[in-house]
């Protein structure tokens, strides 16, 4: 009986050790799982906060392309375009530029057309919306072109297409040049 009791005791002891080692393994697995979840929660919240901050910064327009674009006026090399400017005037806004006749012969400006690329509004010198200070230009002479558009565009960078139709009196035919103007509309 002693042998049997001894066997039972050792079997029980062995079973106890096995159960103990199984519990330790489970605890180790639980600790690893808990550490992984804590890691994901900690860094997950940090990533969410970073994404929210980036989204807010982008929504404010700090990185909008308009902030990095400069004013420009591009026509053909024969018509240098200088000092484009824009100004808000109540419910309308004005775009102004100076062009120079660099062709080497006399011309007469017959047509001036400005198109706002954002709104699609087109104005020309057939009405009062485009004013040209001097229509007859000798070589090297400059003229100021002013266009008035409807709407509020204060503090916006706007792009316009410009088309000039000029007549060369000695030849008797019309010629057209076109270009692009990008200008910031300043509050008035």
Quickly state the pLDDT bin for 138 (edges 50, 70, 90): very high
Which of 22, 48, 63 is at the close of a domain? 63
Exposure string for 37-72, b = 16+ CB within 10 A, e = fewer: eeeeeeeeeeeeeeeeeeeeeeeeeeeeeeeeeeee
From 14, 32, 63, the end of a domain falls on 63
User: What percent of the chain lies above the pLDDT cut of 90?
Assistant: 14
* 24 pLDDT more than 80: no
One domain for residues 119 and 179: yes
Both 75 and 26 in one domain: the answer is: no
Q: Which residues pair with 146 in a beta bridge?
A: 96, 131
Residue 147 scores a pLDDT above 90: no
- Claim to verify: residue 172 and residue 102 sit in the same structural domain: yes
DSSP state of 65: G
Q: pLDDT grade, residue 4 (50/70/90)?
A: low
Say if residue 101 is exposed, middle or buried (CB neighbours under 10 Å; 0-12, 13-18, 19+).
buried
- Tell me: do 43 and 134 sit in the same domain: no
Query: Do 28 and 76 fall into the same domain?
Result: no
Whether residue 179 contacts residue 139, with contact meaning beta carbons closer than 8 Å, is answered with no
pLDDT band at 180 (very low <50, low <70, confident <90, very high): very high
In a shared domain, residues 156 and 109:
yes
Lowest mean pLDDT among 7-11, 44-48, 54-58: 7-11
Say whether both 35 and 76 belong to one domain: no
Look up the pTM and report it.
Answer: 0.61
Q: Do 90 and 7 share a structural domain?
A: no
CA-to-CA separations, 43 to 24, 32, 35, 49, 64, in angstroms, rounded: 28, 17, 12, 10, 29
Q: Does 38 lie in the same domain as 96?
A: no
CA distance 104 to 177: 16
SS3 61: coil
Per-residue pLDDT for 48 more than 70? yes
Give me the domain span that covers residue 178: 70-186
Number of domains in the chain: 2
Looking at residue 127, what is its pLDDT? 67
Query: pLDDT for 68-94, tens place per residue?
Result: 677 888 888 888 888 788 888 888 888
For residues 102 and 137, give the distance between their C-alpha atoms in angstroms, rounded to a whole number. 10
Averaged over 171-183, what is the pLDDT?
89
Beta carbons within 10 angstroms of residue 80's beta carbon: 14
The answer on pLDDT for 10 being more than 60 is no
- What sections of the chain are H helices per DSSP? 2-59
Give the range among 13-17, 25-29, 56-60, 124-128 with minimum mean pLDDT.
Answer: 25-29
Q: What is the mean pLDDT of the chain?
A: 81
- Domain boundary, last residue among 10, 28, 63: 63
166: its two tokens: 């000029």
Q: Are both 117 and 163 inside the same structural domain?
A: yes
Q: Which CATH number is 168's domain given?
A: 2.60.40.1470
* 50 and 83 together in one domain: no
Residues 79 and 39 in one domain: no
């Amino acid at each position: 009986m002693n042998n049997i009791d001894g066997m039972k005791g050792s079997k029980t002891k062995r079973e106890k050790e096995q159960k103990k080692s199984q519990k330790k393994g489970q605890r180790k697995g639980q600790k690893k799982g808990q550490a992984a979840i804590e890691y994901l929660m900690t860094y997950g919240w940090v990533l969410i906060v970073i994404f929210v901050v980036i989204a807010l910064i982008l929504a404010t327009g700090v990185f909008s392309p308009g902030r990095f674009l400069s004013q420009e006026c591009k026509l053909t090399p024969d018509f240098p375009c200088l000092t484009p400017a824009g100004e808000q005037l109540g419910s309308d806004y004005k775009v102004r530029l100076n062009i120079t006749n660099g062709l080497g012969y006399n011309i007469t400006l017959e047509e001036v057309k400005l198109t706002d690329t954002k709104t699609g509004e087109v104005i020309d010198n057939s009405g009062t919306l485009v004013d040209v200070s001097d229509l007859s230009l000798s070589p090297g002479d400059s003229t100021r072109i002013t266009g008035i558009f409807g709407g509020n565009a204060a503090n916006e960078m706007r792009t316009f297409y410009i088309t000039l139709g000029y007549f060369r009196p000695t030849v008797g035919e019309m010629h057209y040049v076109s270009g692009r103007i990008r200008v910031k509309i300043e509050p008035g």
